[in-house]
Amino acid sequence: MKVAVGCDHAGFPLKDVVIESVRALGHEVLDVGTYNTDAVDFPDFTKKVGGKIQSGEAERGILICGSGIGAAIAANKMKGVFASICHDTYSAAQGVEHDAMNVLCMGGRVIGPELVKVLVPAFLNARYRGDDPGGERLARRVGKIKRMEENQ
């Protein structure tokens, strides 16, 4: 799977850990920046990750800003991007399985590298269950979200 990874200056200290975690699972990383701790605006890198999802260049994305909140808000403004901040493994997996989440957002000033090492696998090893037998209620709910997106 191709995974787009982006961050702002506050998320940069965790970016290498994220990239190493993605690669350790056998996935390809599309690093869209930033590449140092010089101050930048998180929406710019959110747009780059979301754009990779929208174009189909990446199947999933990972964003790191200071809290994870700004990146999640910005990412969810992009059509076809289902993003959430997750600082626990249950949410990182369940967001994919039940809600078709395709972008994981994390706070570089909130969590440390050891938590990243378990969050990334939880997110990337999960798969959407709405297409499974018995997954109709999940698919119905995700369909309602997509219709909300279309009606904006």
Residues acting as catalytic residues: 65, 98
| Rounded distance between C-alpha atoms, residue 57 and residue 52, angstroms | 5
Query: Are 3 and 124 in contact, with CB atoms under 8 Å apart?
Result: yes
C-alpha to C-alpha distances, 116 to 31, 50, 152, nearest whole angstrom: 17, 20, 34
| Rounded distance between C-alpha atoms, residue 47 and residue 27, angstroms | 21
CA torsion, ordered 107, 113, 119, 125, to nearest 10 deg: 130
